[in-house]
Every structure is written in C-alpha cells, then in structure tokens.
Copies of this chain bind each other. A is one copy, B any other.
C-alpha cells in the first residue's frame, strides 16, 4: 500500500492528460474548422443546461458521497473515496463515451459531455456502495477504469444500436451499476464476515450525515432524469414526472418501513434509500406521456419494492447467494432500475413513446444487466489479485486503515467544562 496507491493514481492521471491531449478539444474549436455549425446556439444551450449539470454534479459528489457516510467509522472513506472515484471517472468517462460517439473525430467538450461524464461516474459510485468498506482505494481506481469502459460500451449499444429510450438511465446506470457491483461483491465475498462486523452499523450523527446525501439526491433527481432530454415537451415531462414520482415514493417508503417492523418503527436505512427509488424507477419513461398520475403509481410501487428488498431480499442474498451488499444498492438501484426498464416496456406498449418499441426496450434491459454481470465478474477476479491492498476482514469498515483518524470523537464533555483543566488532558 505504501507506494502502490500513489503510483497508480499518478500514473492514471498522466494517462488521462495524454488522452485529453490526443483526443479532446473545446467545442468552440470546431467552429474555426467547420463553418457550417451554428456556434451561438451551442453556447446558449451551454448556460441553459448548466444549472441542470450543477444539480447532477451535486448529486454525484454530495449526494452519493454523504449517502454512504452512515457507517460509524467509515465516513472519511465514504465521502473521500467517492470524490476520488468520481474525479477519475469523469475524466475517463469523457474519453470513453466521447471516443464511441465521435466517429473518429476529436471529442468536442460541450455541456452534454460534462453531464454524461458525471453520469458515467454514477455507475461506479453505485457499485462502490455494494463493496463499501471491504475494498482498498487502489481496487476502486481499477474498478473505475474497467466499469466505465463496460458502461460506455453498453450505453452505446442501448442508445445507438438498439435506439432504446432510457432518458433517466434506469437501465444503463442504475441497474447496470447495481448488478456490476453485486457481481464484484459476489467474487469478493468474505466468509469471515458472514456473521457481520462490529463496525458495520451506524451511530446517531452518521445517520444524519447520510440524510444530507439522501436529500440532495432526492431534490435534484428531476435534473438527473431531464438533463440530456430533448428540449421542449420531453425535457419538461422528465422534470414533472420525476418530481411527482419521488413525492409519491416517500409516502409508501415511510408506510412500508413502519409496516415491516414488528413495533411499527421507522428504519433509517429505508428512509435514506427507499425514498429515492421513485427517481430510479421512473427514469426510463420519464420523458414519455405517462401522465403525472402514472409517474406517481410508478413511484409508489418503487418505494414498496425497495423497502421489501431491504427487509426480506437482502438477508437472503447475503446468506444464500453469498453476495454481501453493504449499502443495499440492489434495493435502491437494482430492483427499481429493472422496474424502470419494465415500466418503459409497458409505457411503450401503451403508446407513451413514438420513438421506441417494446423489443428495443427489452433488448436494452437485457443488455444492461448482462453486460453488468459479465463486467462485474471479470472486475471482481481482477480485484482479487493479491497486490491490490484489499483490507483484512478485521480491518473492514474502518477509516483508520487508509486515513489518519483523529484520536478523539466528539464524545467528551470534559471539553466543555472550563475551570477544571486538570481533566483537559487527552484520555488515551
């Protein structure tokens, strides 16, 4: 670990700079070469979409980052490795997606490239949730490179070959990221932790930090589902449908969280996660004419599915399939993502879209899950290579393996008793 992590990180950054030097140019550069492109329009679009890009940006860095801080001793890694993965991922995603879509031309960086670059990091951050606490930062850097390559390939297949609709990326990001992560987690299964780990729990304030992530994801999800939508009716509908789907999802997530607990109490895991399932599940058909009440039906069901997943399916997956999913990404991204794909098929069947067919939608769903599982299995095997610094079972879910951690927590009321300085000595 001593030198491996820095060298891998530096090497990857140099690689990115070289790739950018070779393949990337400003969007405005093309105008000096090709006179026929309407430059002012592109730049006007830039500022119009920029607020939506920034919403997505907040979801990636604060949303995903803080959502994972629920573990009592793994907050530095959650928010810190999230930043690291996303910073690498957005550079690599710019290249990986750009190469496929540029048809041999230079990649012209516009606002949509930046939004798509952020999107491509989301897949890795979802997978990161499945293996949270059980992997090293080097492993995560490598997973970032491999996963985004697979993601870009599948996204090209879905969008350019199958020409399927998936505007909010229920299939290509959420289902893909979840099943990729589950495949990796399956390969990296730790028998030694089958009875759990003492650090795999939250404390009171870590659950509040996680709610920062939940809320920023929840609020800005309409931007996520609409950012690259066709301007006009479709973009408008993507925003409206997501807004109401999420609102409905909150009600059912709360109701079923209480319902499945013996004493009727709410579970923070459900509230932090299942309230977001409505955003995932409405993603594929967000820009279609599904009617606001249709989006609320989708959101309501997603909230229920997600809570049931956390309560009943995750324990089964852990014990029977030997896949340990730290954040329960299967319940937030996997099941609702598949549900989104199926909702898209139904919506197309009901005539809510005039650009896609049921077969194209089904192919997209199958391709996303298939590519994710294959890619995840390959990645898992690579991550098992012994020199990648995977932590021992005992060291899981513990920041102090990779971080200098303050000796004290906010625990000590001596700190607030003035006048009795004899007790101000550190207690270790």
CB distance from A158 to the nearest CB of B (A): 26
Query: Is A25 among interface residues, defined by CB-CB distance under 8 A?
Result: yes
What are the residues of chain B within 8 A of A235 when measuring CB–CB?
43, 47
Task: Find A266's partner among B46, B54, B204, B404 (CB 8 Å cutoff).
Answer: B404
Query: Is A205 among interface residues, defined by CB-CB distance under 8 A?
Result: yes
**CA gap between A266 and B216 in the complex, in Å:** 27
**CA gap between A82 and B275 in the complex, in Å:** 13
Q: Are B402 and A409 in contact (CB under 8 A)?
A: no
CB distance from A18 to the nearest CB of B (A): 8
What are the residues of chain B within 8 A of A216 when measuring CB–CB?
62
Q: Are A6 and B62 in contact (CB under 8 A)?
A: no
Q: Are A2 and B264 in contact (CB under 8 A)?
A: yes
What are the residues of chain B within 8 A of A426 when measuring CB–CB?
198
Stretch at the interface among A177-185, A188-196, A241-249, A353-361: A241-249
Q: Are B296 and A410 in contact (CB under 8 A)?
A: no
Query: Is A109 among interface residues, defined by CB-CB distance under 8 A?
Result: yes
Q: Are A27 and B411 in contact (CB under 8 A)?
A: no
User: Among residues 300 to 344 in chain A, which have CB atoms less than 8 Å away from a CB atom of chain B?
Assistant: 300
CB distance from A270 to the nearest CB of B (A): 10
**CA gap between A415 and B406 in the complex, in Å:** 11
Q: Are B293 and A24 in contact (CB under 8 A)?
A: yes
Q: Are A24 and B246 in contact (CB under 8 A)?
A: no
Query: Is A218 among interface residues, defined by CB-CB distance under 8 A?
Result: yes
Q: Are A410 and B204 in contact (CB under 8 A)?
A: yes
What are the residues of chain B within 8 A of A256 when measuring CB–CB?
6
CB distance from A196 to the nearest CB of B (A): 12
What are the residues of chain B within 8 A of A80 when measuring CB–CB?
211, 266, 268, 271
Given A51-B54, A243-B114, A409-B413; A21-B293 close (CB under 8 Å): yes
Q: Are A411 and B412 in contact (CB under 8 A)?
A: yes
Q: Are B13 and A265 in contact (CB under 8 A)?
A: no
Q: Are A9 and B255 in contact (CB under 8 A)?
A: yes
Q: Are A250 and B409 in contact (CB under 8 A)?
A: no
Task: Find A247's partner among B87, B205, B292 (CB 8 Å cutoff).
Answer: B87
Given A26-B240, A212-B212, A244-B20; A84-B254 close (CB under 8 Å): yes
Q: Could you write out 25 A-B pairs with CB less than 8 Å apart?
A: A5-B258, A6-B259, A13-B248, A17-B248, A21-B293, A43-B232, A47-B231, A54-B55, A61-B219, A69-B208, A72-B410, A80-B211, A83-B218, A87-B250, A91-B244, A109-B240, A198-B426, A201-B408, A202-B406, A204-B405, A205-B205, A268-B403, A408-B416, A409-B410, A413-B427
A residues with CB within 8 A of B = 1-3, 5-7, 9-10, 12-13, 16-18, 20-21, 24-28, 40, 43, 46-48, 50-52, 54-55, 57-58, 61-62, 65-66, 69, 72-73, 75-76, 79-80, 83-84, 87-88, 90-91, 109, 114, 137, 198, 201-209, 211-212, 215-216, 218-220, 223, 231-233, 235-237, 239-240, 243-244, 246-252, 254-256, 258-259, 261, 263-268, 271, 275, 289, 291-293, 296-297, 300, 400, 402-413, 415-418, 424, 426-428
Extra A-B contacts (10), CB below 8 Å, given A6-B254, A409-B411: A13-B251, A20-B293, A51-B54, A61-B215, A61-B218, A84-B254, A87-B275, A203-B410, A204-B410, A408-B413
